[in-house]
Amino acid sequence: MFSTMRHHWLLLGACGWVLLILMFASKFINFRAADNYGEKTDAHSWTESGAHQGARPEAVDELDRPDRPDPKPSYVFPPTAAPTPSDWQWVTERRMELLSAVCQQQNATLRNLTHVSVSRFVLDRIFVSDKHKILFCQTPKVGNTQWKKVLIVLNGEYSTVEDIPENLVHDHDKNGLPRLSSFSPQDITERLHTYFKFFIVRDPFERLISAFKDKFVKNPRFEPWYKHDIAPSIIRKYRKVHRDLASSPGDGGSPGAGLRFEDFVRYLGDGGEGRRRMDRQFGEHVIHWVTYAELCAPCEIRYSVVGHHETLERDAPYILRAAGIEGLVSYPHIPLGITRYNRTKVERYFSGISRRDVRRLYARYQGDFNLFGYPSPDFLLD
């Protein structure tokens, strides 16, 4: 009896020791697993030291691979912690390297789309802040109103961007923003060589949708010439049936809205002299849809920074810092999600457009896609 009880207690004791050993081993294994996970996370984090040492995450390294058939846009970043200022400098440098590489390509067709002389038209697009040695090239439908406000504050007319009346921003006779074209040839050359120069871009097709909505559908600034002069001219030349039909997705939903998006696309994609003649007839108003190359001559003018509308929340502070004015003015508040690329909207507007017309449109704006790292819209072209 005693021997049986003794054996029983020994067995319980042994089981207890086994349990203690297993608990200890489990803690040790969990500790090592957590440690390994931490090491793995550190190895892939985009830290400031990593940026200086050239250690970049795979998601960003994709931008550099020359053999990638469909490179990601230059504004794409890993969905981890926000990049540091040094990281953002690396991004902007890659953008400028891409711009330079495309400008140097010998493809004759592409060069016709990217190389534009620094004409009076280009100089008229560039606003000057002599006090802070800044040049800003205007690219309409890419948030330019806010950058004009920044320059107006820098020129000393107002203390903050919030104080500036909306109707003053686009009144170029009263807003105090001189254009580069107003200077002598010698002064123009000096400013182009020595001032901080920048402009902003966005997906080219989404910009065209924005221009169409703003000028031909909503027209919030009451500019009658778009609906009453330009729209009828486009309709007469490019609509197959010259009468207002039921609205299409590009009309903004109102029957008889006049110019339809498909008319606009046919006009923009016309590579012949007819469209160029109409552009000359429309004058300055074409700035809302001509290419970035035509507006700012980025292959002829060596810009300091090119910002992207899709990452404006990060680009704006970087540009202010790079220009040395971050302590003098703030970029206006950006509503949440307003800069995000909207593929659904692009697909909806192009849903009724023929593949032939889309390809012709892309042929005209291909230079902008290539210069600034935007992927070709294969979902529309295929």
| Out of 56-60, 209-213, 251-255, 269-273, least confident range | 56-60
pLDDT given for residue 268 in this prediction:
97
**79 has a pLDDT exceeding 50:** no
358-372 per-position pLDDT tens digit = 999 999 999 999 999
pLDDT of amino acid 57: 30
Which of 2-11, 81-90, 254-263, 345-354 tops mean pLDDT? Answer: 345-354
pLDDT at 299 (0 to 100): 97
| For the chain, percent of residues with pLDDT exceeding 90 | 60
Using pLDDT thresholds of 50, 70 and 90, give the confidence band for residue 13.
low
What is the mean predicted confidence (pLDDT) over 252-279? 83
What is the pLDDT confidence band of residue 10, given thresholds at 50, 70 and 90? low
Q: What percent of the chain has pLDDT over 70?
A: 73
| End-to-end CA separation in angstroms for the chain | 88
Closest by CA position to 124, among listed 247, 2, 286 = 286
Q: Which residues of 274-310 are buried (b: 16+ CB within 10 A; e: fewer)?
A: ebeebbeebeebbbbbbbbbbbbbbbbbebebbbbbb
User: How far apart, in whole angstroms, are the C-alpha atoms of residue 142 and residue 274?
Assistant: 27
- Residue 156 confidence (pLDDT): 87
The pLDDT score that the predictor gives to residue 292 is 98
Is residue 174 over pLDDT 60? yes
Q: What is the pLDDT of residue 61?
A: 30
pLDDT at residue 314, rounded to an integer: 92
In this predicted structure, what is the pLDDT of residue 106? Answer: 86
Whether the per-residue pLDDT at 82 is higher than 90: the answer is: no
- Token pair of 256 as six digits: 């008889």
Q: What are the pLDDT digits (tens) for 85-141?
A: 678 889 999 999 999 999 999 899 899 999 999 999 999 999 999 999 999 999 999
The pLDDT tens digits for 30-71 are 333 322 212 232 322 222 222 223 332 323 232 233 333 334
Q: What is the mean pLDDT of the chain?
A: 79
Interval 277-297 mean pLDDT? 95
What is the C-alpha to C-alpha distance for residues 139 and 303, in angstroms, rounded to an integer? 14
Beta bridge mates, 272: none
Residue scoring higher pLDDT (10 or 275): 275
